[in-house]
Structure 1
Amino acid sequence: MKAIDLFAGAGGFSTGASMAGVDVVWAANHWPAAVAIHEQNHPGAAHLCQDLQQANWRDVPAHDILLASPCCQGHSKARGKANGNPQHDASRSTAWAVVSAAEYHRPAFAVIENVPEFTRWALYPAWCAAMDALGYALTPMIVDAADHGTPQHRERLFIVAARAAHPLMISLEKRAHVPASSFIDFGAGSWQPIEKPGRAAATLRRVQAGRRAHGDRFVMPYYGGGSGLTGRCLNRPLGTVTTRDRWGVVDGDRTRMLTAQECRAAMGFPDTYILPAKHTDAVHMLGNAVCPPAARDVITAMLKAA
């Protein structure tokens, strides 16, 4: 089986497909740095750096599976999807590139990943109707990456599209959860004292709450909501990794943010996966990526159900 990867980013979808035994032959993204990283990790695929709404699908090789993770920022509640915001309107429109590519190539399958709010997009019914007009039956499902061996709770929408009369009946078996302690290295990173001049009082309160709940070692986000109020036990998966440094590690009287390598492990990428040298680029790409183990299990279940 051969696949192409639209909006490939750092390559989470491609990596998951490879884990499922699928050969990724072509990948594209609009960010040159992401294309460069994808090419280093998937040298067997052809690569294109372009706005995919302007792509010439005649230049894309034949494939059995179309993988796509269109821009999610215009849908995500984390980014505020206000109507009338031109940037968000433009990001939502990237989903139409999936329809355009499917119309030209008509692969047997397509797998689309996005945030769950994608289904509440005003044009989601029209998007589904367009895929239906091309002969695709859709199976949408919400998948938590933690249920597929990724040490991170990350709920995402996966839509399996099959050229069939009826939607595929896909059964996803849940795997045992992997704790955050599996990848945190207390000998790595740049530690700082918790008690230092300028430390925000709210941060100190969260540290104290985390100590009461979890002892001397735990993780906490640098935000006030959710786990930010109590910290998070190391014996459970991490919360969602974002495109900016979010999760801090507390060890007694010292603290630091997760390293890029720890974020890579939290996303379920192999330890050998090449990351950008610049920390902010690495975290941004990882926070935007598809978790490879979740993609692997969805693709494997799709092929089994077909």
Structure 2
Amino acid sequence: MKVIDLFAGAGGFSTGANMAGCEVAWAANHWPDAVEWHSRNHPDAAHVCQDLHQADWSQVPAHDLMLASPCCQGHSKARGKASGNPQHDASRSTAWAVVSAAEYHRPPAILVENVPEFLDWQLFHPWVLAMQELGYAVSPHVVDAADLGAPQNRVRMFLVLTQSVEPLKLNLPTLNYLPASSFINFDTGRWQPVEKLGRATATLERVKAGRATHGERFLISYYGNTKTGRSLDRPIGTITTRDRWAIVDGVRMRMLSRWECRSAMSFPNTYQLPDNHRLAVHLLGNAVCPTPVSHIIRALQQAA
């Protein structure tokens, strides 16, 4: 099965497709850093660094499956979704590039990934009507990556679009959870004392609450709603585009390394990342979890 990847980012969709036995022929993103690292990890694919609103789809190879992760910031509650925010309006408009590409190529199947709030977008119904006019049945699937083999709770929506009379409901597996302890290495990393001079009071309170609930080893979130710590026996919470999760081990603590973030996202250990920690975390936090994608594509292949 030949695949193209729109808004390819760090390459989670492409990597999941490779895991499912697909050939990634072409990938595009507007962010040069994302294109560089996608090309390092997928050297056999053709790459384009471009705003896909301006794409010439005649230059894109024919394919069996289109993958697309339009910008999610304009939909996500985590980014505020401010009414009338021009930046958010522009990000939401990226979804129309999928319609444009589908109109030209008419692949048998398309997978679109985004946050579940995409389904509440004011223009979602017109977007679906446009895809239906092109012959696609549209089937939303909201899944947690932890149910499909990633050691992370990350709820995302996958739209399955097929050239079929009825929407295609995938028969997805429910796998045993992988805990955060499966990828955390207590023998490496830049550990610091919990009681370090200048440590924020809110952080110390979260550590105290975590100890009371989970003992000496646990995770804390530097922002968000997790204020009591998180057990290492559970999947980690959502990996975001900036450092969020810290590991507490007795009197010491540290942030997750970029390699641990890579494992939390279910990328293989051979996947290359930049040396710059902040850039690596940003790329990973924007990515799709590859292992869940591989299960979704296999289920699509079986149902088609």
Same fold (TM over 0.5): yes
TM-score interval, normalised by the smaller of the two chains:
over 0.9
Letter in structure 1 aligned against 2:236: L
| C-alpha RMSD over aligned residues | 0.7
Match of 1:92 in 2: 92
- Is 1:281 the equivalent of 2:272? no
In the TM superposition, 1:108-127 aligns within 5 A as 108-127=108-127
d(CA) in 1 for partners of 2:209, 2:80: 29
- Is 1:256 the equivalent of 2:254? yes
Letter in structure 2 aligned against 1:209: A
Match of 2:290 in 1: 292
In the TM superposition, 1:1-306 aligns within 5 A as 1-223=1-223, 225-227=224-226, 229-306=227-304
Letter in structure 1 aligned against 2:264: A
5+ residue gaps, structure 1, are none
d(CA) in 2 for partners of 1:64, 1:252: 52
Say which SS state the counterpart of residue 78 (structure 1) adopts: helix
Say which SS state the counterpart of residue 150 (structure 1) adopts: coil
**1:104-151 CA distance string (max 9 Å, x none):** 000000000000000011100010000000000011010100001100
Letter in structure 1 aligned against 2:229: G
Identity %: 65
Letter in structure 2 aligned against 1:262: E
Say which SS state the counterpart of residue 265 (structure 1) adopts: helix
d(CA) in 1 for partners of 2:56, 2:276: 32
Say which SS state the counterpart of residue 226 (structure 1) adopts: coil
TM-score between the two structures when normalised by the length of structure 1: 0.98
* 1:198 shift after superposition: 1.2
d(CA) in 1 for partners of 2:219, 2:169: 38
d(CA) in 1 for partners of 2:200, 2:40: 40
Say which SS state the counterpart of residue 171 (structure 1) adopts: coil
d(CA) in 1 for partners of 2:234, 2:197: 32
* 1:166 shift after superposition: 1.0
d(CA) in 2 for partners of 1:108, 1:130: 16
d(CA) in 2 for partners of 1:215, 1:73: 36
d(CA) in 2 for partners of 1:205, 1:220: 10
Letter in structure 2 aligned against 1:3: V
* 1:173 shift after superposition: 1.0
d(CA) in 2 for partners of 1:127, 1:285: 28
Moved over 3 A (4+): none
Say which SS state the counterpart of residue 211 (structure 2) adopts: helix
Letter in structure 1 aligned against 2:72: C
* 1:207 shift after superposition: 0.3
d(CA) in 1 for partners of 2:201, 2:39: 44
d(CA) in 1 for partners of 2:133, 2:279: 39
d(CA) in 2 for partners of 1:243, 1:175: 26
Letter in structure 2 aligned against 1:118: F
d(CA) in 2 for partners of 1:103, 1:226: 42
**1:155-204 CA distance string (max 9 Å, x none):** 00000000111111311111110000000011121111111221111111
d(CA) in 2 for partners of 1:169, 1:118: 19
d(CA) in 2 for partners of 1:185, 1:281: 21
